[in-house]
Amino acid sequence: MSWMAWTQTTAIFFSVIACILIAMTIFEIKVPSTERRGFLPIETSRGDRLFIGLLSSAYLHLVFLGFTEIALWVPLAISVVWVGIVLRWG
C-alpha cells in the first residue's frame, strides 16, 4: 500500500469517514428512516442529510482555506456541530 502514499492525517480522516458510514448503516438497519422535511428546503432521508452535512463541511473548509489564515481546527469544530444540526433538524 506504500504506492498510496498514506499519511497519519489522511488515515485518520478516512477512518472517521468509514466509521460514520458503518455507524449510519447499523443505525439505518436498527431504526429505518423515512424522508421528512426539517429546516432544509427539501424532504431528506438520513443518508441525504449526512451527504449534505459532509459536502457543506468540505466547502466550509475550502472557504476558510481560500479566504482566511485561520487554523483548520476552527472549521472542523464548526463542521462537527453543523453536521449534527443537519442530521437532527435538517
Partner 1 sequence: MRKVENNKAWLLVLPVFLLVAFSAIVPLMTVVNYSVQDIFDQNNAYFVGSEWYREILRDPRLHESLLRQFMFSFAVLAIEIPLGIGIALMMPTKGKMASVCLILVAIPLLIPWNVVGTIWQIFGRADIGLFGWSLTSLGMDYNYASNPIDAWATVLLMDVWHWTPLVALLCYSGLRAIPEAFYQAARIDRASKWAIFRHIQLPKLKNVLVIGVLLRFMDSFMIYTEPFVLTGGGPGNSTTFLSQTLTQMAIGQFDLGPAAAFSLIYFLIVLLVSWLFFTTINHMDKDK
Instruction: Judge whether 52 and 90 are in contact, CB under 8 Å.
Output: yes
Query: Least distance from C-beta 60 to partner 1, angstroms?
Result: 11
| Residue 72 CB-density burial (10 A; 0-12 exposed, 13-18 middle, 19+ buried) | exposed
Would you list the DSSP string of 20-67? HHHHHHHHHHHS----B-SSSSS-B-HHHHHHHHHHHHHHHHHHHHHH
Binding status of residue 7 toward partner 1 by CB under 8 A: yes
Residue 62 in contact with partner 1, rule: CB under 8 A: yes
* 9 contributes a contact to partner 1 by CB under 8 A: yes
The yes or no reply on residue 2 touching partner 1 (CB under 8 A) is: yes
4 contributes a contact to partner 1 by CB under 8 A: yes
What residues line the site for partner 1 (CB under 8 A)? 2-7, 9-10, 13-14, 42-43, 51, 55, 58-59, 62, 65-66, 72
